[in-house]
Amino acid sequence: MVFYVPLCKLTQPYDTILPPTGVYPWGNPIRRAALNALEHHRQEEIVSSLLPEFPGSSFERRWSTLLAILEAGDPFLLLENEDTLWLGKAIDETVPGIFAKHAVAVLNKCRKEERN
């Protein structure tokens, strides 16, 4: 049986959106995957909003912005120069090298941990 679940209902407990008859053991994993995807999308939106702020910020503000980007962003996307979330768009030659050095170290460590 296949049925449509509106996106706005995905944040509700799955037993309230499933038809009342029958138990669907696949409901929990599907709901969990959908919620994970929504969370991942939300994190990408956060990074997208922070990237343009980074270059023009004060030195202190840059650190907090960079740490927030590194915390919220997917390390594989932040290092991929063809991705819209590529960190290289924000860290250019006008930004002190310490920011790039720190970002690369953190992202490489995260990527290594995710592979293991």
Instruction: Please classify residue 34 by burial: count the beta carbons closer than 10 Å to its beta carbon, then call 0-12 exposed, 13-18 middle and 19+ buried.
Output: middle
Looking at the predicted structure, is the pLDDT value of residue 69 above 90? yes
For 24, left (φ over 0), alpha (ψ -120 to 50), or beta? beta
Question: Which pLDDT value is given to residue 82?
Answer: 92
Looking at the predicted structure, is the pLDDT value of residue 1 above 60? no
Record the pTM.
0.68
- Mean pLDDT of the region 103-113: 88
- Mean pLDDT of the region 7-33: 59
